[in-house]
Chains A and B, each alone.
Chain A
Amino acid sequence: MSVELDVFVGNTTIMDKEVYQLWLNGYTVNDAVKVRIEGGVMEECEASAEVLLSDTMDQYRTFQMCERLLHHPAKLANQLLFQIPPDRQAMLIERYYAFDDSFVREVLGKKLSKGTKKDLDDVSTKTGITLKSCRRQFDNFKRVFKVVEELKGPLVENIRQHFLLPDQLARDYAAIVFFANNRFETGKKKLHYLTFQDFAFCAGQLINNWTLGAVDNIMEDMDVDLDKEFLQELKDLKILITDKDLLDQHKSLVCTALRGKTNVFNEMEANFKNLSRGLVNIAAKLINAKDVRDFFIDLVEKFIEPCRSDKWTSIDVNLYLTHYTNSVHILDTFKHHAVWTRYMGVIKSCILRMYHD
C-alpha cells in the first residue's frame, strides 16, 4: 500500500521559504523532513510526519521545475507556467544566487572549468557544504561568468540586469567573475586569513580603478580585464627605487612628515626602502599575467607581513601610506603623477582592508 502519486498545484505557486532554503542547501527530502520536524512546524500546525513528507516532496518538485527558469532570471518574470508574485520572484532569485562565503573562498580565483568542478567533492568535505549545494553555487558562478564575459559595459550593472540580483549580490558576483577571469591566487596559506569580503572589496577597487572601463566612460569597454596601457605605464614607476636620489628624497620627505606621529617611527624608517621597493616592484611586474595572479600574495609578503612583524597598527599603516603616496608629488624629477595616484589609491585601500589578523 503506497501513495503512488501525490501532487498539489496552486494557481499562485506556493513556496515555503524554509523548505526552499533546505533545498538550496542540498538536503535530501528525508533530511529536510527531519530538519522541519525538529523545527517544530508539526506542533504548530497539527500536522503529521506523513503530511510533512508530502509537502516537502511537492515543494522540492516545484523548485526543480523552477530551477530551469532561475538559470535565466529574466525569464521568471515573463514565463506563464508559474504564477509567482513579484516579491516572491525576487526572493527566489536572490536566494538561488546566494552563496556561502566559505565555499567561495575555496574557488575564488580558480578557473571555472570542468576540472575545478570535479574537485568540488573535496571542497564539500572541507567546508561541510553539501556537494549539491556546491555544484549549484559553482554553476551559478560559471553561468554569470559566461554571460558577462562577452558583454560590454560596467560589470556590476550587467550582472544586475541579467540576473536581477540586488546590488550587493551583484557586486559580489562581479568580484567572483573578476577574480576568475584574472585568476588571482587566493588559496595560499598566507592568504587564508582573508575573507571573501576582503577580496570582494579589493576586486571592487581594481574594477573601479584599474580596468579600461574605469577611466574611459565608453560603454564598449569591458570591466573584466585590467587596463593594459596602465599596466605598461606602471613600469615607469620603477624610477622611484632605481634612482637613488629619488628614493632618498622620498624617504626623507615621508620621515619628516611622520616624525613624532607614530610609535613605530624607527621601524618605519629602517624599513622604508624595503617597503617601497616591494610596492613599486609589484607595480612594475603587473604587466605579466603570472604576476597579476600573485598580486595579493605579493601585497601580503612584501608589505603586510613586514609591517605586521614590526607591530604596526592599521592607523600606522594608513598614516604611512598616505604620506608615502602624497610626498611623491613633491619630488621634482618624478613625472608619472597620474599613474602613481591611480596605482597607490587602489594599493592603499586594498592594504588597509587586508591589514587585519
Chain B
Amino acid sequence: MPGKLKAKIVAGRHLPVMDRASDLTDAFVEVKFGNTTFKTDVYPKSLNPQWNSEWFKFEVDDEDLQDEPLQITVLDHDTYSANDAIGKVYIDIDPLLCSEAATVISGWLPIYDTIHGIRGEINVLVKVDLFNDLNRFRQSSCGVKFFCTTSIPRCYRAIMVHGFVEELVVNEDPEYQWIDRIRTPRASNEARQRLIFLMSGELQRKIGLKVLEMGGNAVVGYLQCFDLEGESGLVVRAIGTACTLEKISSTLPATATHPSNSSPSKDMKDSPQAAPSTLGCRSTHSSPVHSASSRLSQGFSVSVPTLLFAGMGSGGSAGKEGGPLKALLRQQTQSALEQREYPFFTLAAFPPGFLLHVGGVVSARSVKLLDRIHNPDEPETRDAWWEEIRQEIKSHAKALGCHAVVGYSESTSICEEVCILSASGTAAILSSRFMQDGPLDTEHRFEEVVSPGCGFCHIPYDELNIPFPAQLTYCYCCRRYKVPDVLFTTIDLPTEANVTGKGCLIQARLCRTKKKAQGEGNATVISNLLPFLEYELHTQLMNKLKLRGMNALFGLRIQISVGETMLLGLASATGVYLTALPSPGGIQIAGKTPSDITYEQHISNMQKKINDTIAKNKELYEINPPEVVEEIIGSPIPEPRQRSRLFRSQSESSDEVSELDLSHGKKDAFVLEIDDTDAVEDIHALLTDSPTPAGFYSCNTEIMPGIQNWTSAIQMFTSVRVFRLNANLTNQGLNKIFSDLCENLLKSLYFKLRSMVPCCLCHLNFTVAIPEDELIQVAVTAVAMSFDKEQLLENGKQSGEKTLIKAITENDEQLQFNLELNAETSAPNPLSSPKGLSEVGSHLSARASSVDYSSFADRCSSWIEQLKLKAHTIRRGSVKTTSSMEKASPLPEGRSRSLRSNRSYSGSSVAVVKMTPLSFIPGAKIIKYLGIINMFFIRETTSLREEGGVSGFLHTFIAEVFAMVRAHVAALGGNAVVSYSMKECVFMENPNKNQAQCLINVSGDAVMFVRESELESTSVQTQSATTHTSNGAEGT
C-alpha cells in the first residue's frame, strides 16, 4: 500500500439553480478514486454550499495514483427521483507524486459538465502521502518529472541526456461502442473523457518506467497526442526525451556529477549509434482496459518517398524531378535497419555546446489504411507503423552525415479510414558531453568545434559526397568551414547564433483537390499526391524566404491534412538571415514565349515588383549583412573553387556584389520560369502575402532574433476559423482561398492586438484540418509580447554585453562543461565575428578565461591533464573561452534587467495566471515547476442556436478550457503555464439538428514565477554569494 490519497471538499459557489421551484440547489459531492467512492452530506437549499467535509482517504497503489484521476462529482439531491448531476472535476494527481513539484492541490476548480459547460466552482484540498517502495519490479514510475518544454527547463541543469522515449496505448473509442446507441450524450462524453484521462496516465507511467530504466529522472519535450481513429479505435501516443536533470539551487554549490571518462571516445560520424546503448526503448504495446478491444490492423500501407530539406541548391530552374526526391535513395538502404534504437531528441533548444552541426530537415510520411479486421492477435500494428517511419527518419539523417535527429516530432492526419503518419526533425551532430560517453571525446572534436555563433551551420556531411545538389561556401563568420546556401531546420534558433536583422514568419500554403475514393484506391491517390504537395510547399517556402532576403528557416513545421476531396498542406517556419550563410540571390523571372512585347513588359513589371519587395523586406527586417568579407579577402583561406568539385560556376565575389546590387541577371538568382498559368499564379501568390503592419513582428519559434527587451505584457490567445468552400473549385481557386484564409486570420490578429504595439507574435502555431467536406478549419495559438521600442536599436549590443557579464558571474557553475570546450576551441578569426559583439566578446571572454582558469586549475587535476593533452594538439593553441557566448542560452537574465521599472499588477480576488506557449515568461524567473498539465475536454450542445451558433459555442468552450487550465494551475500553487499548446481541437457540427460537438486537448507546464523586479535585489546578492560559495566549496 504505497500511497494514501486524501481529499477534502470545502465548499462550492455559483452553483446553478437545480430546483426551479425554490431557485436553489441541494448539493452534495461524490469523491471517487479507482473503485472507491465517498460522499459528502447534502447541503440543502444553497447555491454556495459549505460542506467542509472530513478528509476522505484512499489507500492505493502508486501505479493507480499515476493512472487514475481523482474524480469529483457534484450532484443535486432529489428525494423523489434520481439525483441530478451538476458536473464533474477531474484532478490529475501526478504533480503530487513528485517531490519537487506541487505538495498540495487547493483552490477553486470549475465544475464542468459536457453539455452545460462550467457550472459553478468547488473548493477542494488534495494531498498524497507516498511511502517509499523499493520493489525493483514495480510498475509505477512516481517521481519522474515530465515537461512539455522542449528545452532544458529553466531552473534545472541537464546532467545527462539519455535519448528518445516513446509509448503508445490503444483502446476502443467509447463513442463507437454499441452501448453508445442507448446512453445519453453526457454519459458517452464522460466515458470518453475518463478513458483518455486513464490512458494518458498509463502512458505517462510507462514512459516514466522507461526513463527509470535508462537511469534518467525526467522527460523533457514530452509530446502526447490522440488519434481518434473512429471505428477502429483510440490511440494515445507520446514521445519525449529522457534526461537526468538537477535542480539549480541557490544555496548549494553547483556540483556536476560528471561521469568520469568511462567509455572511450568514439568517432561520432562513423557510428551514428555512438549515443548510449540504452538509448531508446522498444515500445511495448498494451491496451489498458479492454485488451480485446483493439482490432486495429493494417490493410494497406504506403510509405511515401520523403523529401529531405537541407541546404537545397537554389541554382537553376526548379525542375520537377529536382534534387530532393532522389536525394536520400543512395545512402538509405544501408546499415539502418538492424539498429533498433532511435537517436532522436524532441528538444528544440539545447544546453550550450550540445548542438554541434545541423544537416537539415528530415521527414517521413506514410499513408496507412485503418481497417477494422477482427484479429486481436495483431495489436502491435501502430507500433510497427511508427517504427517504420522512425527507421526512415534515421536513415535520412544518416544520409546527411548526421548521427542524431533533433527537434523531432510526430503527427497524424486521419480522414475516414485513411491515416497519414508523419515524422520530422532536424538531422544534427551532437556533442557527446551530455551523453554517457562522457566528455572525453577528443581528437575528432577538435576540428569540429568552432565558434558557437556559426558552428552549427557548418555542414556535417562530406562535401565531396553531398547527398543532394547544394552550393557550398566558406562560412561567412569563421571562413574555415563549409556552409550550405540555405538551411532549413525544425529547431529553435540557437541563442548563440549570429543573426543579421530580424526574422519573420514564413508560410507556404497549398490546397490540392483529389477524387473521392474508397479504401486502397483512396490511399494510393493520396500517396501519389503527397510528394508533389511537399515539393510545392518546399518551393513556396524557398521563394518566400528569398523574397524576404533571408537564408535560413527555423521551427519548420509542415502539416498535411487529408479530407475526402482535398489535401491541405501548411508549412510554417521562421525565416532569418544567418550571418554565417551566404546572402541569398534574388528571384528572377524568365518568360518562355519571348515574342510578345506586352508579355515582356508584363514580365519585367513583375520582376520589378519582386525586386522592390526584396529591397523593402531587407529594410523592414534590417538585413544589412556585415561587410566583413572585404577585410578578409587577403586571408590565407584557400579559394573554394579549388576545393570543391561540386561548386557551381560562380565565385564568392559575385555574391558580394549581389549584396549591394539586387539587379536581375545575377547568376545565382532563383529563376522562375513563367511557362504556364501555374507559375503566374505562383508568383502572384508570392506577392500577395501582405507585410506585417508597422510595429508588429511574427515568428513561430520561441524567440525573435533582434528583439530582447520584452516588457512583461504578454497575451496568449487562440483563434479558430472555419471556412466553407463552394463545390467545384479548381486547385488554384482553392489555393487562393486557403492562402487568403490564413492571411486574413493573421491580419485579424494584428488588428486585435494593436494596443500592444510594438509587439511580436511568438510561437505562432497554425493547425489546419478538414472537419468535413468543403470545410477548412484553421486554429492558431500564439503569444503576443510587447517590447520596448526605445532600446530597440542599441539593444543588440547592450544585451550582448549584459549576457556576457552575466555569463562570467555564473560561469563557475558551467565550468566543468566549458573547460573542455575552451581548450578545444581554436580562436575564430576576430574579424569575422559579427560587428558589435566581436570586440566585447573577445575582450570579456579573455578576462573570463583567465579568472576561470585560475580559480579552477587547482581543483581538478584530471581536467588539467586533459587540457595539457589538448594544448599539444591544438593548432593555434590559445586557451580561449567562448563559453561566455554560449551561456547566453537559457533566457539570459541580463536581457530582462532593463525592465525593472515595470509596474506590478495589483492583485484581484482571483489570482492571475499567465499562459504562454513559450518556455519562459519575460521579465520573470521561473522558480518552480509544479507538474505537467494535460487536459482533455469534450463539449456538446443540442441547442446550438441558443448558445450563439457555432462561434458562440466554440468561443465559450475555449474560454472554459482556459479557465479550467488556469484554475488547476492556481490550485497547484502556480501563477503561470509555460509551453502551453492546444494539441487538438476537433469541431463537429450539425446545424440542421441544432447540434455541435467539440474536443479540445491542451497541455503545458504549471510553474511558479517571480518578477525579476521583485527578485532583483535579493537575487544579485545570492547570485554572487553562490558563486563565491561554489568557488570555495569546490576549491577545497
B948 at the interface (CB under 8 A from A): yes
Determine if B959 and A82 form an interchain contact, defined as CB atoms under 8 angstroms apart.
yes
Are the C-beta atoms of B913 and A83 separated by less than 8 Å? yes
Residue contact B951 to A57, C-beta cutoff 8 Å: yes
The 0/1 profile, CB within 8 Å of A marked 1, for residues 7-18 of chain B is 000000110000
Give Cα A79 to B722, complex, Å. Answer: 29
Judging by beta carbons under 8 Å apart, are B747 and A48 in contact? yes
Complex contacts, B909 vs chain A, CB 8 Å = 77-78
Is B725 part of the contact surface with A, judged by Cβ < 8 Å?
yes
Identify which of A4, A6, A54, A81 contacts B959 (C-beta below 8 A): A81
Identify which of residues 59-96 in chain A touch chain B, using a CB-to-CB cut-off of 8 Å. Answer: 61-62, 64-65, 75, 77-83, 85-86, 89
Taking a contact as CB atoms under 8 Å apart, the answer to whether B747 and A9 are in contact is no
Given A5-B951, A5-B987, A64-B948, CB of A11 within 8 Å of CB of B723: no
Known: A12-B715, A65-B955, A80-B121. A5 touches B720 (CB 8 A): yes
Chain A residue with Cβ nearest B777? A5
B966 touches A83 (CB 8 A): yes
Residue B905 at the chain A interface, CB threshold 8 Å? yes
- Which residues of B are found within 8 Å of A80, using beta-carbon distances? 108, 110, 118, 121, 910, 963, 966-967
Are the CB atoms of B719 and A9 closer together than 8 Å?
yes
Q: Does A219 contact B (CB under 8 A)?
A: no
Q: How far is the CA of A12 from the CA of B915 in the complex (A)?
A: 9
**With the chains together, A164 CA to B777 CA distance in Å?**
41
Query: Which A residues lie within 8 Å of B914 (CB)?
Result: 11
Flag if B950 contacts A55 (CB, 8 Å).
no
A77 to B956, CA, bound (A): 18
Q: What is the CA–CA distance of A209 and B14 in the complex, to the nearest angstrom? A: 39
Give B747-783 as 1s and 0s: 1 = Cβ < 8 Å from A's Cβ atoms: 1111111100000000000000000000101000000
With an 8 A cutoff between CB atoms, is A264 at the interface? Answer: no
Q: Check if B877 is an interface residue, CB within 8 A of chain A.
A: no
Complex: A58 Cα to B748 Cα, angstroms: 11
Chain B 883-927 against A: per-residue CB contact (8 Å), 1 yes, 0 no? 000000000000000000000011011101111000000000000
Answer whether residue A270 sits at the interface, using C-beta atoms and an 8 A cutoff: no
Of B121, B693, B960, which one neighbours A45 at CB under 8 angstroms? B693
Q: How far is the CA of A57 from the CA of B748 in the complex (A)?
A: 12
Q: Is A3 an interface residue (CB 8 A)?
A: yes
Which of A61, A83, A89 has its CB near the most chain B CB atoms (within 10 A)? A83
- Residue B751 contacts which of A2, A9, A52, A81 (CB distance < 8 angstroms)? A52
Contacting residues, chain A, for B950 (C-beta < 8 A): 4-5
Q: DSSP class of B's interface residues: helix, strand, loop or mixed? A: mixed
B748 touches A51 (CB 8 A): yes
Residues on the B chain within 8 Å of A8, using CB: 717-719, 748-749, 752
| A1 and B748 contacting across the interface, CB-CB below 8 Å | no
CA distance A12 to B718 in the complex (A): 11
Chain B 667-710, CB-CB to A under 8 Å as 1, else 0, gives: 00000000000000000000000000110000000000000000
Complex-state Cα separation, A1 to B962, whole angstroms:
31
Q: Bound complex: CA of A47 vs CA of B750, how far in Å? A: 9
Q: How far is the CB of A317 from chain B (nearest CB, A)?
A: 49
* In the complex, chain B residues whose CB is within 8 Å of the CB of A65: 952, 955-956, 959
Interface centre among B14, B726, B751, B906 (most CB of A within 10 A): B751
Contacts known (A4-B723, A4-B950, A79-B14); A50 close to B744, Cβ less than 8 A: yes
**Which of chain A's residues has its CB closest to B955's CB?**
A7
| Count of CB-CB pairs between chains A and B under 8 Å | 139
Is A46 part of the binding interface, using a Cβ–Cβ cutoff of 8 Å? yes
Interface 1/0 per residue, B106-136 and A, CB below 8 Å: 0010100000001001000000000000000
Give the docked Cα–Cα distance between A33 and B537 (Å): 37
Which residues of the other chain, B, contact A64 by a CB distance below 8 angstroms? 948, 952
Q: Cβ of B716 < 8 Å from any Cβ of A?
A: yes
Write the chain A residue with the least CB distance to B741. A3
Do B718 and A9 have beta carbons less than 8 Å apart?
Answer: yes
Contacts of A14 in B (CB 8 A): 715, 717, 752-753
Q: Are B715 and A47 in contact (CB under 8 A)?
A: no
Q: Does A10 contact B (CB under 8 A)?
A: yes
Q: How far is the CA of A185 from the CA of B955 in the complex (A)?
A: 46
B296 CB to closest chain A CB (Å) equals: 32
Contact of B722 among A1, A4, A75, A89 (CB under 8 A): A4
Complex CA distance for A65 and B955, rounded to whole angstroms: 9
Cβ-defined contact, B910 with A1, below 8 A = no
* Given contact pairs A2-B723, A65-B959, A10 touches B751 in the complex (Cβ within 8 A): no
Q: How far is the CA of A65 from the CA of B959 in the complex (A)?
A: 10
Q: Which residue of B lies closest to A89 (CB)?
A: B908
B602 beta carbon closer than 8 Å to chain A: no
Across the interface, B720 reaches (CB within 8 A) one of A7, A62, A77, namely A7
Given A45-B693, A79-B14, A81-B960, A51 contacting B751 (CB threshold 8 A): yes
B747 near A47 with CB under 8 A, answer yes
Q: Does B871 make an interface contact (CB < 8 A)?
A: no
Chain B residues within 8 Å of chain A by Cβ, number: 56
Residues of B within 8 A of A86 (CB): 906, 908
A9 contact from B693, B913, B955, Cβ within 8 A:
B955
Residue picked from A6, A13, A48, A62, most chain B C-beta under 10 Å: A6
A119 to chain B, nearest CB (A): 28
User: Is the beta-carbon distance between A1 and B725 smaller than 8 angstroms?
Assistant: yes
Q: Which of chain B's residues have a CB closer than 8 A to the CB of A52? A: 751
Per-residue CB contact flags for chain B residues 967-995 toward chain A (1 = under 8 Å, else 0) read 10000000000000000000100000000
Q: Check A7/B752 contact, CB under 8 A, given A79-B910, A80-B963, A80-B967.
A: no
What A residues does B724 contact at CB under 8 A?
Answer: 1-4
Whether the pair A61, B948 counts as a contact (CB closer than 8 A) is: yes
B1005 CB to closest chain A CB (Å) equals 15
Q: Does B954 contact A (CB under 8 A)?
A: yes
| CB <8 Å contact, A1 and B966 | no
Given the complex of chains A and B, what is the CA–CA distance between A5 and B718 in angstroms? 13
* Contact present for A55 and B748 (CB under 8 Å): yes
Task: Report the separation of the CA atoms of residues A50 and B754 in the bound assembly, to the nearest whole angstrom.
Answer: 16
CA distance A8 to B778 in the complex (A): 12
Minimal Cβ-Cβ distance residue in B for A84: B908
How far, in angstroms, from A58 to B958 measured CA to CA in the complex?
13
Given contacts A2-B724, A79-B14, A80-B910, contact A7 B719 (CB under 8 A): yes
**Pair B959/A47 contact, Cβ less than 8 Å:** no
Return the contact of B726 from the options A1, A51, A54, A57 (Cβ within 8 A). A1
Complex interface: chain A residues within 8 A of B962 (CB): 9, 11, 83
Asked if A45 and B750 make an inter-chain contact with CB atoms under 8 angstroms apart, the answer reads: yes
Query: What's the least CB distance linking B716 to chain A, in Å?
Result: 4
Instruction: For A55, give its contact among B14, B693, B751 (CB under 8 Å).
Output: B751
Are A6 and B721 in contact, with the CB atoms below 8 A? Answer: yes
B residues near A4, Cβ cutoff 8 Å:
722-724, 775, 950
Question: Is B590 in contact with chain A by the CB < 8 A criterion?
Answer: no
- With most chain A CB atoms within 10 A of its CB, the pick from B121, B721, B950 is B721
| Docked pose: A14 CA to B912 CA in angstroms | 15
Q: Chain A residues with Cβ under 8 A from B951's Cβ?
A: 5-7, 57, 61
With both chains docked as a complex, state the minimum distance between the C-beta of A240 and any C-beta of chain B, in angstroms: 53
B-chain residues with CB within 8 Å of residue A44 when the two chains form the complex? 754
Which residues of chain B come closer than 8 Å to A83, judged between CB atoms? 910, 912-913, 962-963, 966
Chain A residues closer than 8 Å to B720, beta-carbon distance: 5-7
Q: Which residues of A contact B747 (CB under 8 A)?
A: 47-48, 51
Q: Would you list the 8 A-B pairs with minimal beta carbon distance, nearest first?
A: A5-B722, A10-B717, A11-B716, A9-B958, A7-B955, A8-B719, A4-B722, A11-B915
A sample of 16 cross-chain residue pairs with beta-carbon separation below 8 angstroms, ordered by A number, consists of: A1-B724, A1-B737, A6-B722, A6-B951, A8-B752, A55-B752, A58-B752, A65-B952, A65-B955, A65-B959, A77-B910, A78-B13, A80-B108, A80-B118, A83-B912, A83-B966
Contacts A54-B744, A58-B955, A61-B951 given; 18 further ones with Cβ under 8 A? A4-B950, A5-B777, A5-B954, A6-B722, A7-B955, A9-B955, A11-B966, A14-B715, A14-B717, A47-B747, A50-B744, A51-B747, A77-B909, A78-B13, A80-B108, A83-B912, A83-B962, A86-B908
Using CB atoms and an 8 Å cutoff, list the residues of chain A in contact with chain B: 1-14, 44-48, 50-52, 54-55, 57-58, 61-62, 64-65, 75, 77-83, 85-86, 89
